Amino acid sequence: MSPERIVAVSEEPALLPDLVRVGRSVGADPSDRVVAVLLPGVPGDAADRARAAGAHEVHRLVAPASTDPHVLTSALEEVVRTLAPTLILVGSTKRGRELAGRLAGRLDLPAASGVTALRTEGGALLLDREALSGNAVATERIERRPAVLALLPGTTAPSPSVAPPGPAEDRTVAPVPPLTETVEVRAKAGGQLEIEKADRIVTIGRGLRKKEDLPLIEALARALGAEVGCTRPLAADAGWLSDDHWIGLTGHRVHPKLYVAVGVSGAVQHQVGMRSAQVVVAVNKDPNAPIFAQADYRIVGDLYQIVPALTKVFST
């Protein structure tokens, strides 16, 4: 078996230390190397954090900062040519998946995204990834190298190892003209809530008849010391709550100790967002709502009667 040479790419700098740690555990042999690659424009402290996480080497790509996928993948193509990695890791963010796909297409490499666990078996990579809209786990095998993998936060890998310090090296990248031009970047409205960190969540779904009834749900959340979550229709379609409240496949994945789903039918795309909650309470007037299959405590009833009663009981 030839040594692993693993490149961790800083598409999302906050995820880079995790990628390095996964790289170190996959490449646990003394002859294996983990190289952190900082894309142009990434803040310098990312280098320190990558080293602290165990990177053997840090390479800073020197070029004008860009978000154009062609510019970024061209820089990564050069990295692949010069560093000859066996494995390229990026974060499974929207941009990360885009880069993984484009790079894989440029160089005809195996690729997978949404990876939640990674290990090697002989020279092959074995990975778990989300499948069926996140409600199942697919185990996949990749023999051909190098491979490009986009890892979800919290990806597990066996035996993380301790880091030696390593030098940071600047690497000038030949410039390529961008294929797209950024006209404007605007922050999303809201966006302040980090619901994936919440311990308790009260989530409201389409059972809520109108936006003006939201205080009903907010009062219950206050009584329980919980954040307010919502399903896709309330955020994306109706816009009653901002995207940072949205729980589900294309919203946020949450892991609270207590999850109270009110008027939530429980579409599979919602379940993937909440399935790792410890204790689930569901309130729904439809006894056949799919959410009940995911519930520890089931309350069949009209939320307009149940929620005020819950608020009263939990406020005292």
Partner 1 sequence: MAETLRIGVAVKHGVDVTLTRADRATGRVDLAGAPRKTSDFDKNAVEEAVRLREKHGGTVTAITVGGPAAREALREALAIGADEAVLVTAESWSTWDTRAVARLLAGAYRTLGGFDLFLVGEGSTDHFGGLVGPRMAGELGIAEVASVRKVTIEGRAVLAEKDLEKEVEVVRAKFPVVLTVGQEINTPRLPTFMANLKASKKEAKVLAPPDVGLAPDSLAPVVVVEKVAVPEIPRKQVALAGASAEEIAKGLREALRAEGLVP
Residue (162 or 183) nearer to partner 1, CB: 183
Confirm or reject binding of residue 94 to partner 1 (CB under 8 A). Answer: yes
Q: What is the CB-side half-sphere exposure of residue 249 using CA atoms within 13 A? A: 15
Smallest distance, partner 1 to C-beta of residue 12, A: 9
Binding string to partner 1 for residues 216 to 255, with x set by CB under 8 A, is what? --------x-------x---x------------xx-----
Confirm or reject binding of residue 130 to partner 1 (CB under 8 A). Answer: yes
Confirm or reject binding of residue 18 to partner 1 (CB under 8 A). Answer: no
Confirm or reject binding of residue 197 to partner 1 (CB under 8 A). Answer: no
Query: Rounded to an integer, what distance in angstroms lies between the CA atom of residue 306 and that of residue 262?
Result: 9
Confirm or reject binding of residue 67 to partner 1 (CB under 8 A). Answer: yes
Query: Rounded to an integer, what distance in angstroms lies between the CA atom of residue 45 and that of residue 54?
Result: 14
DSSP state of 240: S
Query: Rounded to an integer, what distance in angstroms lies between the CA atom of residue 203 and that of residue 267?
Result: 13
Out of 43, 136, 154, 156, the only residue in the binding site for partner 1 (CB under 8 A) is: 136
Confirm or reject binding of residue 310 to partner 1 (CB under 8 A). Answer: yes
Out of 28, 133, 171, 240, the only residue in the binding site for partner 1 (CB under 8 A) is: 133
Q: How many CB atoms lie within 10 A of CB 239?
A: 12
Confirm or reject binding of residue 207 to partner 1 (CB under 8 A). Answer: no
Smallest distance, partner 1 to C-beta of residue 246, A: 11
Q: Quick one: CA dihedral 169, 12, 256, 309, positive or negative?
A: positive
- Report whether 129 contacts 113 (CB < 8 A): yes
Q: CB under 8 A: which stretch of 26-34, 63-71, 154-162, 202-210 binds partner 1?
A: 63-71
Residues 173 to 192 in contact with partner 1, rule: CB under 8 A: 179-188, 191
Q: Residue written as tokens 């949404």? A: 114
Query: Rounded to an integer, what distance in angstroms lies between the CA atom of residue 138 and that of residue 108?
Result: 22
Confirm or reject binding of residue 102 to partner 1 (CB under 8 A). Answer: yes
Confirm or reject binding of residue 131 to partner 1 (CB under 8 A). Answer: yes
> Cα–chain-centroid distance for residue 90?
11
Compute the C-alpha angle 164/13/133, nearest 5°: 115
